[in-house]
Amino acid sequence: MKTLELKFENADGKTVTYSLEKPIEPVDPAAVAAAMDTIIEQNTFTSSGGNLVAKKSARIVERNVQDVELV
**pLDDT average per 10 residues of sequence, the chain (71 residues):** 96 97 95 97 93 97 94 90
Q: How far apart are CA 51 and CA 26, in angstroms?
A: 30
Kindly state whether residue 48 falls inside one of the protein's structural domains.
yes
54 inside domain: yes
Beta bridge pairs of residue 52: 10
pLDDT at residue 10 in the model: 97
In this prediction, residue 70 carries a pLDDT of 96
CB atoms within 10 A of CB 4: 19
Whether residue 42 is contained in a domain is answered as yes
Q: What is the pLDDT of residue 32?
A: 97
* Number of domains observed in the structure of the chain: 1
Structural domain includes residue 28: yes
Q: What is the sign, positive or negative, of the torsion defined by CA atoms of 31, 35, 13, 19?
A: negative
pLDDT number for residue 46 = 84
pTM: 0.86
pLDDT (0 to 100) of residue 44: 92
Domain hosting residue 12, numbered range = 2-62
In a domain, 55, yes or no: yes
Do 49 and 16 form a contact (C-beta atoms < 8 A)?
yes
**Residue 17: inside a domain:** yes
